[in-house]
Amino acid sequence: METDQSMEGWYTDPYARHEARWMSQGTPTRLVRDAGIEGSDPVTDEPFKVTPVRIESDGPHDGSDMLRADDAEREAPYDPKKAIRAGSDVFDQSFGL
């Protein structure tokens, strides 16, 4: 069975051993997935048992679902109202008003 070089992404496993297998430029890779859990399974020289079918993901494709490693350490954006209130609090505490 011939593969299309434009095949890139998750496809049904052409060897029928897993739910999905990552295809890269039409070539099956060892990256596999079952029930959403990724693993590794060697690619063999055996012929495909089934025609690979593209698996469409239902998640965003724009990176909005990704987090930066330092997101938890980032400060909140500057809020001028909070700054004025903080300045007033310092003034009140300094002069006992």
Amino acid at site 59: G
The pLDDT of residue 96 is 63
pLDDT tens, 2-26?
567 788 999 999 999 999 999 999 8
The pLDDT of residue 60 is 61
The pLDDT of residue 70 is 77
Do the Cβ atoms of 37 and 29 come closer than 8 Å? no
The pLDDT of residue 58 is 64
For the chain, the structural domain boundaries read 1-56
The pLDDT of residue 65 is 67
Do the Cβ atoms of 10 and 33 come closer than 8 Å? yes
The DSSP H or E segment spanning 20 is strand 20-24
Q: Which residues of the chain have pLDDT under 70?
A: 1-3, 58-63, 65, 96-97
